[in-house]
Amino acid sequence: MWLITAILSAVFAGLTAILAKCGIRKTNPDVATALRTIVVLLFSIVMVFIAGSQGTIADIQPKSWVFLILSGLATGASWICYFKALSAGDVNRVAPIDKSSTILSVLLAIILFGEINNLAVKLISTALIGVGTYLMIEKKITGRETQSLQWIIYAALSAVFAALTSILAKIGISGVESNLGTAIRTAVVLIMAWGIVFAKGEHRQLKGLEKGELVFIGLSGLSTGISWLCYYYAIQNGIVSVVVPVDKLSILLTVLFSVVFLKEKLSKKAIIGLSLICIGTLAMVLWT
């Protein structure tokens, strides 16, 4: 059962980007992020009660609160940048850049935490992911993308903030139950996302949202929540060294869905790049 839920975690993680892309064709990315976060927070709260950790919130130390909030701010920034990237770029190029946060996370972990066990494997895997990412995004720009390449910047920023999220969490939330920490960080994201929406006056766009896109935004949040629930169950009941790589390889499904449902084209060079990312990710997880 746990292996099935691990696979489902990857499936829904892969679906998230596709559903998000469908929900922001006309909807402002900031508004979409704020709406999606409501659904994710509800699922985070469900996870807390499943884990039974709601009673431990009073035991969280001040230092942990600081880093939980900072981690939440980094998560919010990552999500906002990711949505902005998806609104202008192809999923099969945005997703690899976002997943490349693994590179920065590994390098920061080596520098800040001295995690040098199997250093050669880590560095080789990081190089493979980097080369694979480059191959997947190096493609002739056509259509409306000739007008703006900002999606690359936003995708890169999404990866940077995603990496910072894990580093900040590692520094300051030891002793905090992971699901409770996730719920608190998601609450911070919610406040941040809606703060940006109201500060920029984008809340006025809520009245004009297309119902079809609103459905996809909600489904994107729902997909994220289900993915987290499945992942939590698999980690609790299965073999971590199997669950983690299965979840990380959700990028395969993301790209597959983008080709099948969004009709995005995948060149031979991109296929090679995707293969390198998968090999690097598997090596990172299995041998470090």
What tens digit of pLDDT does each residue of 107-145 get?
877 887 787 778 888 889 888 988 988 888 765 444 444
Instruction: Provide CB contacts within 8 A for 176, sequence distance 6+.
Output: 56, 60, 64, 68
> pTM above 0.95?
no
Number of domains in the chain: 1
Can you give the pLDDT at residue 239?
67
Q: Residue 80: in which H helix or E strand, if any?
A: helix 62-88
Alpha-carbon gap, residue 255 to 33, rounded angstroms? 21
CA distances from 246 to 39, 47, 60, 131, 153 (A): 24, 20, 31, 21, 28
Q: Is the dihedral of CA 83, 109, 236, 187 positive or negative?
A: negative
Q: How far apart are CA 149 and CA 67, in angstroms?
A: 33
Q: What is the pLDDT of residue 240?
A: 54
- At 238-279, the pLDDT tens digits run 765 456 557 667 778 888 888 888 888 888 888 998 899 889
**pLDDT the model gives residue 202:** 92
Q: What is the pLDDT of residues 28-57, one digit of tens each?
A: 888 998 999 999 999 889 889 988 989 999
Q: How far apart are CA 71 and CA 172, in angstroms?
A: 9
Give 231-283 as a DSSP string: HHHHHHHS-HHHHHHHHHTHHHHHHHHHHHHS-----HHHHHHHHHHHHHHHH
**What is the spatial distance between Cα 17 and Cα 261, in angstroms, rounded to a whole number?**
12
Torsion of CA 97, 144, 267, 13, to 10 degrees: 40
The 10 Å Cβ neighbour count of residue 80 is 24
Q: What is the pLDDT of residue 138?
A: 60
Range of the domain at 200: 2-287
Residue-level pLDDT at 140: 46
Instruction: For the chain, give the number of residues.
Output: 288
